[in-house]
Structure 1
Amino acid sequence: MSLITVGVEEEYVLLDATTWLPVPAAESVRAAAGLEPTVRESEIQDELLQVQLEVATPVCSTLDEVGGHLLRLRQALAAAAEAQGCRLAATGTPPLREHKPPSVTDGARYRAISEQAPQLVAEQLINGMHIHTAVPDPEVGIAVLNRIRPWLPVLVAMSANSPFWDGEDTGFASWRTIVFGRWHVSGPPPHFDSLADYEQRVERLSGTGTIMDRGQLYWQARLSDRYPTIEVRCPDVQLRAEEAVMLAGVVRGLVATAIADARADAPLTVPPPELLQAANWQAARHGLSGHLIDPEGRRRSAGDVLAELLDHITPALDASGDVRQVTSLIHRLLREGTPADRQREALARGHFGEVARMITSETAGW
């Protein structure tokens, strides 16, 4: 089993250092971070809203590379944000927000999206992480999509990091998943019969005029239009860089396992869309604190489903040298809870300022 390269994109929100409200300082923070000799201009990108920034790692061969790049980029942006009087926050939703809509980043595409869905854009204060894993060709990519599809709700549960909205507890571990699911082409992807089927469906969607381009295929996993990769988009951005590393390792393990199983013509689980949607909702609602719906559609404890996931990908993790690191991080996740659990624990110690301080501290790894 050859080593599969991986890259990670992370979205962050900038918070005012006093009020902890999102602050439209992306341009100045990006400019300040660009002065750092350790940061390349291409590694920091604008996002839809001026309160957000995105980073992208280079293509990586090892999880240590992924972690090193994420920590380097987070610390550079955190220092730049502090110099501008704000703080960098890796949270799926900010704990607090102003009631007036945040400013949209200047650009023709962002303006068009805002005109297309004004209220959705006004509430798009959500931050995710995208994991790109290399695939040999698009046909294999479709086989991978079909085989990792039943596991996407488990990734949602593991990554839950957005319990708060407007200064209230939503009752969901990943409110970001619910907010993002309101877009026209979103949620778990359908099963595809072939690459031709995928392309035909995308062309038909494009022909309706409801999506402007393939960038608006907001499925939780898709073929990348820019790189020879599968892009898994369902996780919330993670509080800690090492939690992002864990998810990158799990996704690479899933992709490597899917490639091997497709080549061996192993049996394929195809959950119906309504069951997968229910599993996704359940994962967003409870994270790892309740039951999950496993790839076979069975209601099971979160611990049992994660044990099944590890069993499923362990040969691939062993082949890439990731088994000890990923297993250790998953065991810690089960002990300490998800980032959403830790946000709620911070609130129980005080108020939303305590939550914001915890988030920004863990984001930078300081």
Structure 2
Amino acid sequence: MDLGSAENFTEMGSLGVEEEFFVVDERGVPTAGTDELVYETDPPNILDDRLDHELFKCVIETQTPKTTLENVDNDVREVREALVEHAGSNGFGIAAAGLHPGAKWRELKHAEKERYRAQLDRIQFPQHRNTTAGLHVHVGVDDADAAVWVANEVRWYLPVMLALSANSPYWDGYDTGLQSARAKIFEALPNTGMPSDFDSFEEFAEFERMMVENGSINDRGELWYDVRPHSGHGTVEVRTPDGQADPERVLAFVEYTHALIIDLVERYEDGETGYRHRRELLDENKWRAMRYGHEASFIRRDRDGEISLAEVVGRECDRLGVSGIGDIFDGESGAEHQRRICNEDGFEALCESLLL
């Protein structure tokens, strides 16, 4: 049974970035390509053991090496460039978004990997339509109980990240009216969305063990919550943002996530008790993010009224000394960009705009 350990939480502030992308054909439309790219050909060295497929044969995942804030910019770009080169040499392109507007789930092929076949058998319809692609950021924390406390407290900020990253208005060729349809599609799966809070790492580890032993999940990696203490890597893993084509946007979320986790660890060490919000409040804020994107407002952390995304972003940039999320907010959102391109230039131009 693959379970993690408190002993894995040993390093503070390390970083790892996982990105999910779409393998596309010459038209820019998702197509089966992960067999060739993952199993049948040798990728560039930087992708050795850092390239994997997902449920659909059109979705591929990369992982950076374990890195630092100083080096993550270079690592993210090198991994992306290597993936594009590898795909191109095999006749494919690479695109990024939370959902690809050209992905028709009924027509796409599933991976043969036993893990995914078991998921399809167990979950059925919600997993069959799960053509999502996201951005996951790992930040190392050197104390397991601190990691659990941070995962509890960071939950309020996740809708902020989702609203800023919203980049999936289209699903199955249909304009959903949402800014992040990916978030809604994905949370139809079991063990997703906003997690409840946990009192300690011991309680979280017991939950992991119970879920595996009782057959609810095959391994701890199937706890797909928006944030989780990763008991294997010794990190807090934020899994909220939609996939992004622009590396600058990816790096903005990495910068913010790292600063936020470090800040919360310091608060934990200072003895703060935290808010321990109810999941219902957090779900409301998440709904506002996926529906309204940059126009969202949220119920405040102290539950006293609302606060706009603009105000949250300004405050966070000032108090944490970050700038990337401010640049994202000041610009056109991913969802707005997709709709504008599609309306002005058509579907082919939209697909082209998502290419790396």
Q: TM-score, normalised by structure 1?
A: 0.88
In 2: Cα distance, 1:299 partner to 1:15 partner: 41
1:34 to 38, 42, 45: 42
Matched, 1:44 2:54: no
Contact 2:99–2:133 (8 Å) recurs in 1 = yes
1:115 to 110, 121, 126: 121
Structure 1 position 66, deviation (Å): 1.7
The gaps in structure 1 that reach 5 residues or longer are 315-322
Q: Given residue 279 of structure 1, which amino acid in structure 2 is its aligned partner?
A: N
Matched, 1:125 2:134: no
Task: Provide the residue aligned with 1:356 in structure 2.
Answer: 351
Matched, 1:284 2:293: no
1:62 to 65, 69, 82: 69
Task: Provide the residue aligned with 1:8 in structure 2.
Answer: 17
Task: Provide the residue aligned with 1:158 in structure 2.
Answer: 164
Residues 196 and 220 (structure 1 numbering): CA distance in 2 closer, same or farther, change over 3 Å? same
Q: How does 1:82-231 map to 2 (within 5 A)?
A: 82-98=88-104, 100-231=106-237
Contact 2:253–2:325 (8 Å) recurs in 1 = no
Structure 1 position 139, deviation (Å): 1.3
| More displaced stretch, 338-347 vs 51-60 | 338-347
In 2: Cα distance, 1:200 partner to 1:45 partner: 29
Contact 1:124–1:179 (8 Å) recurs in 2 = yes
In 2: Cα distance, 1:72 partner to 1:224 partner: 25
Contact 1:167–1:352 (8 Å) recurs in 2 = no
Deviations 1:277-328 (A, max 9, x none): 111111111111232334334322210121233344x1xxxxxxxx3xx31x
In 2: Cα distance, 1:190 partner to 1:101 partner: 36
| More displaced stretch, 283-292 vs 156-165 | 283-292
Contact 2:194–2:227 (8 Å) recurs in 1 = yes
3-state SS in 1 of match to 2:55: coil
3-state SS in 2 of match to 1:287: helix
Task: Provide the residue aligned with 2:255 in structure 1.
Answer: 249
Residues 118 and 228 (structure 1 numbering): CA distance in 2 closer, same or farther, change over 3 Å? same
Deviations 1:163-206 (A, max 9, x none): 11122211111111101111111111111112222223333333
Structure 1 position 153, deviation (Å): 1.1
Structure 1 position 108, deviation (Å): 1.6
- Aligned-pair identity in percent equals 26
Q: Given residue 347 of structure 1, which amino acid in structure 2 is its aligned partner?
A: C
Q: Given residue 6 of structure 1, which amino acid in structure 2 is its aligned partner?
A: L
Residues 278 and 35 (structure 1 numbering): CA distance in 2 closer, same or farther, change over 3 Å? closer
Structure 1 position 41, deviation (Å): 1.4
3-state SS in 2 of match to 1:39: helix
Q: Given residue 42 of structure 1, which amino acid in structure 2 is its aligned partner?
A: D
In 1: Cα distance, 2:343 partner to 2:300 partner: 31
Residues 311 and 268 (structure 1 numbering): CA distance in 2 closer, same or farther, change over 3 Å? farther
Task: Provide the residue aligned with 1:22 in structure 2.
Answer: 30
Q: Aligned-pair RMSD on alpha carbons?
A: 2.0
Task: Provide the residue aligned with 2:335 in structure 1.
Answer: 340
Contact 1:16–1:87 (8 Å) recurs in 2 = yes
Structure 1 position 250, deviation (Å): 0.8
Structure 1 position 9, deviation (Å): 0.4
Q: Given residue 89 of structure 1, which amino acid in structure 2 is its aligned partner?
A: A
Structure 1 position 151, deviation (Å): 1.0
In 2: Cα distance, 1:144 partner to 1:94 partner: 32
1:330 to 325, 334, 337: 325
In 1: Cα distance, 2:209 partner to 2:12 partner: 33
Residues 293 and 15 (structure 1 numbering): CA distance in 2 closer, same or farther, change over 3 Å? farther
Task: Provide the residue aligned with 1:320 in structure 2.
Answer: none
Structure 1 position 147, deviation (Å): 1.8
The gaps in structure 2 that reach 5 residues or longer are 1-10
Paired positions, count: 345
Deviations 1:310-364 (A, max 9, x none): 344x1xxxxxxxx3xx31x22321221322222122112211211111110xx2x
3-state SS in 2 of match to 1:34: coil
Contact 1:184–1:210 (8 Å) recurs in 2 = no
